[in-house]
Amino acid sequence: MIQSVAFIGLGAMGYRMAAHLPKHFDTVYVWNRNFEKAKQHSIEYGTQAVDLKQAVQADIIFSCLPTSKDVENLIAGLELKAGSIWVDCTSGVPESAKQLAEQLKLQLVSFLDAPVSGQTIGAENATLTVMIGGDETAFNQALPAIQAFGKLIKHVGASGAGFAVKAVNNMLLAVNLWSVAEGFTTLKAHGVDLTEALDCINASSGKSGVTENVLSQRILNRSFPLTFALPLLAKDTGIALNLAQDVKLPTPILSLTQNLIQTANLTAEADADFSAAVKLYESWSKITIS
């Protein structure tokens, strides 16, 4: 039985994910580097803002940080409680998950890599998808806590598998983002009505998350709202590519996509949403996707 849970890292996602925990558990610790946010969370949702040392004494410890490096640094100095489970919702590096799982095992702690998808709206509505790698027993034990914010929750394999699936998902997002930019620019250059074309493609075999959501909500309306930063997408494509290279797989399309997204990131303005990667292509074609 889970007596206590903790949530570390109250960013745009984490803040909303942690908000659901008090509905299911009596003791919910929260911690954040900028501690004001933790205090605000406790006031808003009835969680307990405690110091890190205390937070990690919970039965289930969630973390949601920008990168695996941040998680490694955080865990480095901590003493954990034997029998607890660390559920890391960062979009992280599979190799890091394997090492952290090995390392925490020595303290008799389980580590699950449990990245989420569904964006802030999914975090708010507790409808996130959670893809989880690691020990299956620990997965089953942590499941009730994960269900507080997750809807589709899958155990996809051993340590690192969760991060791997997330990285490949985001790589496919990147592939579609860029190829839709090329395709729709081509259509526009030929005088095609993009809105009508989009309707057709969304009812056809070429559809994707990008055509169904990103194109109309972020690009065609020129809003590019910053909800998932371009540097993070660039990082994720790099993680996916490294996965392929680790096993010596040739991946021509993923490699080229990673190069293009990396170029978009290098040439983007500050605080660019991932969808703004298409602006690099627009600077080449001199055609605005709208």
Contact yes or no for 146/111 (Cβ under 8 A): no
| Nearest CA-CA partner of 107 in 126, 124, 89, 84 | 84
Amino acid at position 228, single letter: F
By the rule CB under 8 A, 197 interacts with a copy of itself: yes
Min CB(214)–a copy of itself separation in Å? 8
- Residues of span 90-119 touching a copy of itself by CB under 8 A: 94, 117-118
Q: What is the dihedral of CA 208, 211, 214, 220, to 10 degrees?
A: 170
Min CB(196)–a copy of itself separation in Å? 4
- Residues of span 131-150 touching a copy of itself by CB under 8 A: 131, 133
For residues 245 to 264, the per-residue mask of contacts with a copy of itself, x marking binding by CB under 8 A and - elsewhere, is xxxxxxxxxxxxxxxx-xx-
By the rule CB under 8 A, 230 interacts with a copy of itself: no
CB of 92 or CB of 94, closer to a copy of itself: 94
Min CB(131)–a copy of itself separation in Å? 4
Rounded alpha-carbon distances, angstroms, from residue 167 to 21, 136, 200: 26, 21, 29
**DSSP-based three-state secondary structure for 92:** coil
By the rule CB under 8 A, 182 interacts with a copy of itself: yes
Question: How many CA atoms lie within 13 Å of 20's alpha carbon, on the beta-carbon side?
Answer: 20
**Residue 286: active-site member:** no
By the rule CB under 8 A, 193 interacts with a copy of itself: yes
Contact yes or no for 217/71 (Cβ under 8 A): no
By the rule CB under 8 A, 203 interacts with a copy of itself: yes
| Nearest CA-CA partner of 16 in 73, 84, 89, 70 | 89
By the rule CB under 8 A, 164 interacts with a copy of itself: yes
Burial of 286 (0-12, 13-18, 19+ CB in 10 A): exposed
Using H for helix, E for strand and C for coil, what is the string for 186-201? HHHHCCCCHHHHHHHH
Q: What is the DSSP letter of 268?
A: S
Among 72, 209, 220, 227, binds a copy of itself (CB under 8 A): 209
User: Which of the following is catalytic: 37, 98, 166, 279?
Assistant: 166
By the rule CB under 8 A, 183 interacts with a copy of itself: yes
Q: Measured between alpha carbons, how far apart are the two ends of the chain, in Å?
A: 53
By the rule CB under 8 A, 208 interacts with a copy of itself: yes
Among 70, 216, 238, 282, binds a copy of itself (CB under 8 A): 238
Min CB(51)–a copy of itself separation in Å? 34
By the rule CB under 8 A, 66 interacts with a copy of itself: no
Min CB(207)–a copy of itself separation in Å? 5
CB of 6 or CB of 89, closer to a copy of itself: 89
Min CB(10)–a copy of itself separation in Å? 23
Token pair belonging to 184: 């729709």
Catalytically active residues are 166
